[in-house]
């Protein structure tokens, strides 16, 4: 039997929770589906902080300019202006709701991160900002009696009828059986797809499900070639790629090679505080030059007391691996971290399918351009989660819910196993993506990757495995099309930026890749 609700939100990171709260304000019934526990999302793992204009020596124009510079000429200005202006408003609201940002002498404490011209990064409990934001938003969501959080409800696909998104198919966590839920609109807040790569800072849930579901439902995808690789993930044998926050370099961390030399002087005048794509490529170049698999992050100029207080989670994690961040050089190398591309939306979260909205990393609003500015991701989720919730209510509140269950008997999930990505498929895709569609790309490697993905796709795949392979194909296809280097996308065979490619790549099911000068539409 199908479930009916007013609005369906998929994902419980900062974007999903903020959208849910906005929806519930209208008195609507809101059902939030997550494939793990409610707290498990990319937001939970965001260490560095959230960028916002609140300090005395900062202003909106400076934050906008830093974002545009990092975005390498591909940001949509209106989207950036919206992010910065609304960001201050919504962060102040979070503080009113009880979030505990770190303070010094009673005043908010700000830190600096790469490519920011001011100390504008708020942090919580040192290096647990995302976790604190999730805590505060879940506490606020639980005050809304009309929000139902449904953890361990793995979503498989969107239900589209009469060219409108009307519901979702998912695996009921209690019955362990397939079910359908219908509502007036669906908001996708499923995060990114870092798990496409062999080495990633993302949690296991970040497999890009929302992007793939939207694509198969007919939504347009934009800028899928732009993947950000975080420069400093802890690089140890038999250990996960734990993120060593950008803020560590913001506080004075130095990158050294195996000889102990500070090598960023060779690559960029901004040294360790250059944009992430530049630092990541510099590390790769240095590893190749010295024949090593990692470089080192040096925090030894700072006191142990300061480091333990400023980065408590990082301090304890490194200690578990017998590393003292105050005295030891920390082995690091780049890992996939963030997707700038995703579901094409306007500034209110509207996708190109009626009734389907999206917010956060699953989307491409044009706000990040070709390379996301550090600590703009939590802000984006907060701002555009609220805006998507607001628009979904305004656009659909008077709409009647239609239950299409009996009209689509063949469209139901046939097998709960279809929720799982095959281990063999996952390993193969992740390896190919890392080796051929990674930090450095070229025509031959991308073509070989696409050939492998086509071969995998011809197998008898589960729905989730098909989604995973398709997402990899979308990234590789757009990376092959973009014959230039810009932001997070670097082509060895086209190392320069080309103005004719100052456009967004647009992909849609059963349609050739096209381009657009602007992401936002339907204003």
Q: Decide: 445 and 431 in contact? Cβ < 8 Å.
A: no
CATH architecture of 230-336: Alpha-Beta Complex (3.90)
Is the pLDDT confidence value at 326 over 80? yes
Q: What is the pLDDT of residues 410-450, one digit of tens each?
A: 444 445 555 678 899 999 999 999 999 999 999 999 999 99
Active-site residue, from 120, 135, 169, 276: 276
3-state helix, strand, coil in the chain (%, to 5): 35, 20, 45
* Domain boundaries, given as residue ranges, for the chain: 230-336
In this predicted structure, which of 65-69, 91-95, 218-222, 458-462 has the lowest mean pLDDT? 458-462
Q: What is the pLDDT of residues 54-98, one digit of tens each?
A: 999 999 999 999 999 999 999 999 999 999 999 999 999 999 999
Q: How confident is the model at residue 127 (pLDDT cuts 50, 70, 90)?
A: confident
Q: What is the mean pLDDT of the chain?
A: 91
Q: What is the pLDDT of residues 156-213, one digit of tens each?
A: 899 999 999 999 999 888 888 889 999 999 999 999 999 999 999 998 889 999 999 9
**What is the three-class DSSP state of 86?**
helix
Does pTM surpass 0.85? yes
What value, to the nearest 5°, has the Cα angle with vertex 41 and ends 63 and 129?
45
State the angle between helix axes of 129-141 and 77-96 in degrees (0 to 180), rounded to the nearest 10: 70
* Paired tokens of 6: 């007013």
Q: Tell me whether residue 502 is one of the annotated catalytic residues.
A: no
What pLDDT, on a 0 to 100 scale, did the predictor assign at position 410? Answer: 42
Is the pLDDT confidence value at 523 over 80? no
Q: What is the pLDDT of residues 148-158, one digit of tens each?
A: 999 889 898 99
Is the pLDDT confidence value at 284 over 50? yes
Q: What is the pLDDT of residues 247-283, one digit of tens each?
A: 899 999 999 999 999 999 999 999 999 888 899 999 9
Q: What is the pLDDT of residues 328-366, one digit of tens each?
A: 999 999 999 999 999 999 999 999 999 999 999 999 999
Kindly report the backbone phi and psi dihedral angles of residue 378, in degrees, each rounded to the nearest multiple of 5, phi listed first: -65, -35
Residue 478's Cα: distance from chain center in Å? Answer: 18
Q: Decide: 367 and 83 in contact? Cβ < 8 Å.
A: yes
């Amino acid at each position: 039997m199908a479930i009916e609700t007013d609005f369906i939100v998929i994902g419980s990171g900062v974007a999903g929770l903020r959208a849910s709260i906005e929806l519930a304000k209208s008195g609507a019934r809101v059902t939030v589906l997550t494939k793990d526990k409610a707290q498990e999302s990319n937001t939970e793992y965001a260490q560095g902080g959230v960028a916002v204009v609140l300090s005395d020596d900062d202003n909106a124009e400076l934050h906008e300019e830093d974002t545009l510079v990092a975005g390498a000429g591909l940001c949509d200005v209106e989207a950036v202006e919206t992010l910065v202006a609304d960001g201050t408003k919504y962060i102040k609201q979070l503080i009113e709701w009880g979030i505990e940002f770190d303070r010094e002498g009673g005043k908010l404490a700000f830190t600096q991160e790469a490519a920011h011209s001011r100390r504008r990064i708020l942090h919580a409990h040192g290096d647990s900002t995302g976790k604190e934001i999730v805590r505060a938003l879940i506490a606020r969501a639980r005050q809304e009696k009309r929000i139902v959080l449904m953890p361990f409800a793995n979503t498989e696909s969107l239900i589209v009828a009469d060219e409108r998104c009307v519901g979702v198919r998912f695996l009921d966590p209690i019955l362990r059986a397939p079910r359908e839920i219908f509502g007036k609109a669906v908001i996708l807040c499923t995060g990114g797809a870092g798990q496409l790569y062999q080495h990633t800072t993302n949690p296991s849930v970040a497999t890009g499900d929302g992007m793939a579901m939207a694509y198969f439902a007919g939504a347009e995808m934009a800028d899928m070639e732009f993947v950000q690789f975080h420069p400093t993930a802890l690089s140890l044998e038999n250990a996960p790629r734990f993120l060593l926050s950008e803020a560590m370099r913001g506080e004075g961390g130095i990158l050294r090679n195996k000889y102990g030399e500070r090598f960023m002087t060779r690559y960029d005048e901004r040294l360790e505080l250059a944009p992430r794509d530049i630092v990541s490529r510099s590390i790769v170049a240095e590893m190749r030059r010295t024949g090593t698999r990692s470089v080192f992050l040096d925090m030894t100029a700072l006191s142990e007391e300061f480091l333990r207080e400023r980065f408590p989670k990082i301090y304890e994690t490194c200690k578990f691996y017998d590393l003292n961040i105050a005295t030891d050089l920390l082995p690091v190398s780049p890992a996939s971290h963030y997707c700038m591309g995703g579901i094409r939306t306007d500034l209110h979260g509207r996708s190109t399918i009626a009734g389907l909205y999206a917010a956060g990393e699953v989307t491409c609003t044009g706000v990040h351009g070709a390379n996301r500015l550090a600590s703009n991701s939590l802000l984006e989720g907060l701002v555009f989660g609220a805006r998507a919730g607001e628009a979904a209510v305004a656009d659909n509140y008077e709409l009647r819910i239609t239950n299409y269950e009996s009209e689509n008997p063949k469209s139901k999930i046939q097998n709960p196993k279809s929720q799982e990505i095959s281990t063999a498929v996952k390993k193969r895709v992740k390896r190919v993506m890392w080796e051929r569609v990674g930090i450095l790309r070229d025509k031959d490697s991308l073509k070989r990757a696409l050939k492998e993905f086509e071969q995998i796709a011809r197998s008898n795949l589960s729905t989730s495995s098909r989604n995973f392979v398709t997402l990899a194909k979308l990234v590789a296809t757009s990376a092959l099309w973009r014959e230039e280097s810009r932001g997070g996308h670097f082509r060895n065979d086209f190392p320069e930026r080309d103005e004719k490619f100052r456009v967004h790549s647009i992909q849609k099911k059963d349609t050739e890749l096209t381009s657009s000068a602007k992401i936002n539409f339907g204003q």
